[in-house]
Structure 1
Amino acid sequence: MTAWPRPPFWQWEGHLQTIGAALWARRTVPTGQSRPVAPLWQRERWDTPDGDFVDVDTIVPPNARALVVLFHGLEGSSASHYAQAFAAEAQRRGWAMAVPHFRGCSGEPNRAPRAYHSGDHAEVDWMLMRVAQRWPAWPRVAVGVSLGGNALLRWLQEAGSHAAVTVAAAAAISAPLDLMAAGAAIDRGLNRVLYARMFLRTMRRKAREKWAQYPGLFDLQRVLAARTLRAFDDAFTAPLHGFAGVDDYWRRASSKPHLRAIRVPTLVLNARNDPFVPATSLPVAGEVGDWVQLWQPERGGHVGFAQAATRWDWRGEVGALPRRVLPWLARAAGWADGATMDA
């Protein structure tokens, strides 16, 4: 991997690189324009196999040549900074993009007595099969970010060589590969104040809405009393999705133990200063198979990776992330040979 971009001058450590990219970095600057332009998503609603729905936001440029499917992170959406950055770069390359929202993440409560979780490979499976049915003519790659990255890796592991029928290559960015380590990290110290509290605010609200739909489905008082992600997952996420408890959920949903099972070219990108994902929990080369490439730059934070355009550019822009990941996917998929897919 080439040297990673230099962040804005004040982003000297992982928390600042995480927060700066999410809140202030420029997200979308298509070629030929000087000011950011938000993606113009088109929304489709898809029925799920269990009688529920998911909303899928898409951008399809004229004469699109390929499709990127992006799975968002915890409480993320197509409005997340990384989704907008990938959409801008995909459009520049003439690729279409689709963001299937996990249950309850598109701005409207889902109907079924379930939500979403970090190891939901069955959900990723039917979503990608539906993508292939919806756009059969386009070659496809998949990107998963944070929680969505771990879920994508779990699908790749479960699907094995069959995954190549659906996607030609994949990338997981800032994925919590070891959920025990990541869960412990986010629930302590400054992480608990900065991030866990933010996530729990919307997650508890959604849990209250789910309980109103299905009274008695879980212990609402335990959920509302949760002050850590561990407590929330033990009271809500685990019981709703068939796990015995939080330890069972985090153990079975972690992708790190199964990286050798992947049979599709896959990039696993984690910054070593990610506040959520301890560097000590990251895999080393001997723990992955030939199909997996590890990128572990020293800086980047959690889905940060902002790049300063000049020495005094305090905001930076997050397009550096897709500008590195999408060419890797194109080459891994074989699109760069002969065709002009790798723009």
Structure 2
Amino acid sequence: MRPGLARTGYAPPAWLRSPHVQSLLASSPLRALQARRRLRQAPATHAQTLLEVEGGVRLQGVASVPVARTPRALALLLHGWEGSADSSYMRMTAAHLLRAGLVVFRLNFRDHGGTHHLNEGLFHSNRLDEVVAAARAVVARWPDLPLLVAGFSLGGNFALRLALRAPQAGLPLRHVAAVCPLLDPARTMDSMEIGPAVYMRYFERMWRRSLARKRALFPQAHGFDDAVLRLPMRALTDWMVRHATEFPDLDAYFDGYSVAGERLRALPVPADILMAADDPVIPLEDFHHIAAFPNVRLELTAHGSHCAFIEGASLDGYGERWVAARFLAALDGLDPAVESSDDSCGEYDHASA
């Protein structure tokens, strides 16, 4: 793998160059139907799986195994905040990987994918220990396979932190792929507060719904009232930090799961990162900096919005295909082929100028 800034193979048609159109289509029911269809067409078996790990934590996921062929590797997929193992991008990525002969485990984070009942404590973004433990439990089921990890948005952040922890945890991690990963939580909060309000409102609505469900399941542990649920994102996060974590304040909490600055310079395994210049959620700052790190290769696209990268009317996504291509290249010991033309690179340079 050659680190640095890679050319992009993503060049959507003109009607797909609005980040808001991209976001709308990525979360549409039509794409969800397409994702289910793609996964059904992949020759594999699927099993809901409960993982019981250290500290009495229980996490649930879906294990998918290709049929009629010997698996090449094990891929662990991590979704974004308020997504799930059944998010469209998770299903589509799994379909690509299964057709390539990989075992796929789609993990639900705590309190995601309808798993609020499994643990009393609230999900928060510094719960890396249980994700590492879940990865070890998954690896124990297929101990002879090399591990590959892919994540989207907050899942990309978890994937990169898991990679930093892999040697200490004894994980046989070969490669990481992260799509629009959250690098700097504090900067992302600032960006969302001044960006299009629709994205902030979406995450607020989803998180409030999740917290209300948790309160209903564990009223003895979570006695907050509706006034708390009506708090805006920053204030609600601050409340959660003070009541459900061991961090003294919001700044310490954000720093706890940041991978900005020099943190990724120590990555022990190669990591491919896909990022869109027009991402309305994750700010572009810091990405050029990490592209200079020894084990990081960054692909920047002019368009794609946040984890969307819709390619056309079929609603298939470049991001899902990109993850599979990077994983296969890693397994074969190859550098991924450059699919783009100089024009597409020039389009990005112009867009970011």
TM-score, normalization: structure 2? 0.81
Query: Secondary structure of 1:142's match?
Result: strand
Aligned pairs for 1:228-267 within 5 A: 228=233, 230-237=234-241, 239-257=243-261, 258-267=263-272
Contact map agreement 1:56 1:99 (CA 8 A) in 2: yes
Q: Deviations over 1:320-342 (max 9, x none)?
A: 2232222222323x4357xxxxx
Amino acid across the alignment from 1:243: F
Contact map agreement 1:77 1:106 (CA 8 A) in 2: yes
- Matched residue, 1:90: 97
Superposed displacement of residue 130, structure 1: 0.8
- Residues 1:56 and 1:111: Cα distance change in structure 2 (over 3 Å): closer
- Matched residue, 2:340: none
Superposed displacement of residue 304, structure 1: 0.8
Amino acid across the alignment from 1:291: N
Alignment partner of 1:328 is 2:294: no
- Matched residue, 2:188: 182
- Matched residue, 2:56: 51
Distance 1:303 1:29 in 2: 16
Amino acid across the alignment from 1:272: A
Amino acid across the alignment from 1:178: D
Comparing 285-294 with 50-59, greater Cα deviation is found at 285-294
Alignment partner of 1:122 is 2:123: no
List 4+ stretches of structure 1 deviating above 4 A.
24-30, 161-164, 216-219, 285-288
Q: What is the root-mean-square deviation of aligned Cα atoms in Å? A: 2.6
- Matched residue, 2:339: none
Q: Deviations over 1:293-321 (max 9, x none)?
A: 1122121110011112xxxx3x5321x22
Distance 2:183 2:117 in 1: 27
Distance 2:241 2:9 in 1: 36
Amino acid across the alignment from 2:72: R
- Residues 1:8 and 1:231: Cα distance change in structure 2 (over 3 Å): farther
Amino acid across the alignment from 2:173: V
Distance 1:218 1:253 in 2: 27
Distance 1:286 1:101 in 2: 28
Distance 2:124 2:13 in 1: 33
- Residues 1:130 and 1:216: Cα distance change in structure 2 (over 3 Å): closer
Superposed displacement of residue 214, structure 1: 4.8
Superposed displacement of residue 11, structure 1: 2.2
Superposed displacement of residue 158, structure 1: 3.7
Alignment partner of 1:110 is 2:117: yes
Superposed displacement of residue 140, structure 1: 1.7
- Residues 1:287 and 1:243: Cα distance change in structure 2 (over 3 Å): farther
Q: 1:65 aligns with which of 57, 65, 72?
A: 72
Aligned pairs for 1:1-343 within 5 A: 1-23=6-28, 26=31, 36-39=37-40, 41-62=46-67, 63=69, 64-159=71-166, 161-162=167-168, 165-190=171-196, 192=197, 194-212=198-216, 213-215=218-220, 217=222, 219-221=224-226, 223-228=228-233, 230-237=234-241, 239-257=243-261, 258-279=263-284, 281-285=285-289, 288-308=292-312, 313=313, 315-318=314-317, 320-332=318-330, 334-336=331-333
Contact map agreement 1:14 1:300 (CA 8 A) in 2: yes
- Residues 1:28 and 1:133: Cα distance change in structure 2 (over 3 Å): farther
Q: Deviations over 1:65-114 (max 9, x none)?
A: 22211011011112211101101101211112111111121213234342
Identify the structure with the greater helix proportion.
Answer: 2
Distance 2:210 2:242 in 1: 15
Contact map agreement 2:147 2:171 (CA 8 A) in 1: no
Superposed displacement of residue 237, structure 1: 4.8
- Residues 1:146 and 1:55: Cα distance change in structure 2 (over 3 Å): same
Identical residues among aligned pairs (%): 27
Unaligned runs of 5+ in 1: 338-343
